[in-house]
């Protein structure tokens, strides 16, 4: 049984391939087209998946799409009718697009498949359509190591559903409860993303990163006016403050009045108000997630929980949920957003539609290393084309060289093995640095990533050492849990340092690993096991031998607005376009200082700001 899963036409288009229930490959379209959050039909990702599986498109038994377009169109019509005549402008903007393209997606998908893989096959006969939140739920439960678990999905909106509770048993999922549009935790968070001056469906993680710099002084106001939260976590929004149902923005004048002014202009200076707003919506989100989980546990009696949907990428809320002990074990789909819907659609078709058995024996996501890999000969060929100066070493010596460069304070680009599926770089396509440096966070943000100075960086740590550095002793392979740095690793702050507010706190070292320690002493942790990623684990071990520290700064290999690099060519361009010191691609190593000056490229304006 060969099933290709597809997500497309909203944001983060992706493809995923199952062969007899095994996840063979998965990738986002943006990594190939170099267009951030590319929503177009994922033809490049689909071709990659089929190539990785060694099969022809004609051999596919099914192509599963991640949601149902007609149900989305039904929501558009019913929402307009509910609010008419208010909202005609947004309805008039959306309707022609739906009538031209989105309403007839079955035909569009079939046409795209015919153009890519052959016109002599009736692709419509192989197309399957899943519901959006069922795709999310399937993406979380079926790859999990659990035979039975509660499944909670939370996002902006699918067709109608914004939050769902299901129970997974064996090869089946049963949806027990749903919250429907326009009441949405994801859209509430996105409203504050918009209001604080960041891009919706792109900047939500910036709000999460900004939150520790503020105080949640607006949290009670949010709960009094915007969201009514019940004891079981179910909620309803007061729609008088929002414009996303009928307008072209997320919030309105009533929202502005509630919080004392208009939205922050994008790219303008951040003030304490934005920091406090971020802290407030983050606190409310954490409260809702915790209450939802408690309600799920009471309703099901189950002790294991799977999470998916865009809200499941809120690693701060996930960390608090883990520490609360509501469930004994959590499993979070690493591609929790719409990209993961492609995988969930394929898994749902395999296990539920075709009733294929499931035999959970561990994490079927394989560390999320499901994208392309490149051999040394492909890497050197790419470098030869551009006239780069490089050295080919044994794998052991390449790892030793990378560790030494890191210990010397250099920031390096790291391309190793298969590319990650999902939004996080996990040691496949990463920028790495020494976490002991008090200047590293600022330097990486401003000189390498070309992004806002407040943005935090995550630590990668050997799995066997995580409890020695952080208040955590469980697997966190996907960088989706936040925990505090151990007390004995923290640095005592002076009275003057403790008195600082907002961004002024940024440059105060707080621990032995200041580059990955946030202002509240927390860190977004990735644990690295020798079994799942032996090469990255070996690098951490080599760095530990040199420094006594088995932690590295790990951030995605890209600059602001750029998708994470995929190919050696992508890595080279990014390396030469920013202020990285060195590049290690498998066992091929390069130093910036050895490269001809003429090969440096202007990169700061290459990508639109996200």
Residue 124, SS3?
Answer: helix
Q: State the Cα–Cα distance between residues 425 and 565, nearest whole angstrom.
A: 10
In tens, the pLDDT along 233-251 reads 999 999 999 998 777 789 9
Enclosing H/E stretch for 166: strand 161-169
Structure-token pair, residue 48: 């990659």
Supply the pTM of this predicted model.
0.94
Q: CB 571: neighbour CB atoms within 10 A?
A: 26
Q: Which residues contact 120 (CB under 8 A, 6 or more apart)?
A: none
Confidence of residue 86 (pLDDT cuts 50, 70, 90): low
Contact (CB, 8 A) for 420 and 562: no
Residue 573 pLDDT level (bands cut at 50, 70, 90): very high
User: Which range among 48-52, 73-77, 455-459 shows the weakest confidence by mean pLDDT?
Assistant: 73-77
Annotated active-site positions, please? 11
Q: Quickly state the pLDDT bin for 499 (edges 50, 70, 90).
A: confident
pLDDT in tens, 95-117: 666 555 555 678 888 889 998 88
Give per-residue pLDDT as tens, 178-194. Answer: 999 999 999 999 999 99
What SS3 state is found at 174? strand
CA angle 222, 277, 10 (to 5 degrees): 85
Q: Which of 127, 145, 144, 142 is nearest to 173 (CA)?
A: 142
At 506 the pLDDT is 76
DSSP 8-state symbol, 512: S
Contacts of 578 (CB under 8 A, 6+ apart): 447, 448, 449, 450, 559, 603
């Amino acid at each position: 049984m060969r099933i290709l899963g597809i997500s497309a036409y909203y944001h983060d288009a992706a493809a995923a391939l199952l062969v007899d229930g095994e996840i063979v490959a998965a990738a986002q379209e943006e990594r190939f087209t170099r267009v951030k959050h590319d929503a177009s039909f994922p033809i490049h990702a689909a071709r990659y998946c089929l190539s990785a599986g060694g099969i022809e498109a004609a051999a596919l038994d099914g192509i599963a799409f991640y949601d149902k377009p007609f149900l989305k169109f039904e929501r558009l019509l019913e929402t307009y009718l509910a609010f008419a005549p208010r909202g005609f402008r947004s309805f008039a903007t959306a309707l022609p697009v739906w009538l031209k393209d989105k309403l007839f997606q079955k035909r569009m998908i079939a046409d795209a498949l015919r153009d890519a893989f052959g016109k002599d096959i009736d692709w419509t006969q192989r197309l399957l359509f899943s519901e959006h939140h069922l795709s999310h739920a399937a993406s979380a439960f079926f790859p999990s190591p659990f035979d039975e678990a509660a499944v909670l999905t939370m996002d902006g909106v699918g067709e109608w559903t914004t939050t769902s509770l299901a129970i997974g048993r064996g090869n089946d999922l049963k949806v027990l409860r749903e919250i429907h549009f326009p009441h949405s935790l994801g859209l509430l968070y996105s409203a504050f993303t918009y209001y604080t001056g960041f891009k919706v469906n792109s900047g939500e993680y910036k709000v999460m990163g900004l939150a520790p710099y503020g105080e949640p002084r607006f949290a009670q106001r949010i709960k009094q006016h915007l969201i009514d939260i019940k004891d079981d976590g179910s909620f309803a929004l007061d729609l008088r403050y929002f414009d996303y149902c009928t307008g072209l923005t997320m919030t309105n004048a009533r929202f502005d009045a509630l919080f004392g002014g208009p939205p922050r202009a994008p790219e303008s200076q951040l003030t304490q108000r934005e920091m406090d707003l971020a802290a407030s919506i983050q606190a409310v989100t954490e409260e809702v997630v915790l209450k939802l989980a408690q309600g799920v546990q009471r309703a099901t009696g189950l002790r294991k929980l799977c999470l998916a949907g865009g809200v499941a990428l809120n690693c701060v809320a996930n960390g608090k949920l883990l520490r609360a002990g509501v469930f004994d074990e959590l499993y979070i789909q690493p591609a929790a957003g719409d990209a993961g819907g492609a995988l969930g659609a394929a898994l749902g078709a395999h296990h539920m539609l075709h009733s294929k058995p499931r035999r959970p024996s561990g994490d079927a996501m394989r560390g999320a290393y499901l994208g392309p890999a490149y051999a040394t000969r492909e890497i050197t060929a790419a470098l030869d084309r551009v006239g780069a100066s490089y050295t080919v070493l044994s794998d052991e010596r390449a790892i030793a060289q990378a560790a030494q460069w890191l210990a010397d304070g250099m920031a390096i680009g790291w391309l190793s093995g298969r590319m990650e599926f999902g939004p996080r770089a996990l040691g496949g396509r990463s920028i790495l640095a020494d976490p002991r440096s008090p200047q590293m966070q600022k330097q990486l943000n401003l000189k390498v990533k070309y992004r806002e100075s407040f943005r935090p960086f995550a630590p990668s740590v050997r799995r066997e050492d995580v409890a020695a550095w952080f208040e955590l002793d469980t697997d966190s392979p996907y960088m989706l849990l936040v925990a505090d740095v151990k007390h004995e690793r923290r640095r005592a702050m002076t009275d003057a340092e403790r008195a600082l507010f907002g961004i002024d706190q940024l440059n105060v070292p707080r621990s032995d690993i200041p580059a990955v320690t946030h202002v509240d002493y927390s860190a977004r942790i990735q644990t690295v096991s020798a079994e799942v990623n032996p090469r990255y684990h070996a690098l951490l071990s080599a760095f530990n031998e040199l420094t006594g520290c088995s932690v590295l700064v790990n951030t995605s290999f890209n600059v602001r607005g750029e998708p994470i690099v995929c190919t050696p060519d992508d890595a080279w361009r990014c390396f030469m376009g920013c202020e990285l010191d060195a590049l290690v691609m498998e066992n091929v190593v390069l130093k910036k200082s050895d490269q001809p000056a003429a090969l440096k490229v202007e990169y700061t304006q290459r990508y639109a700001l996200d």
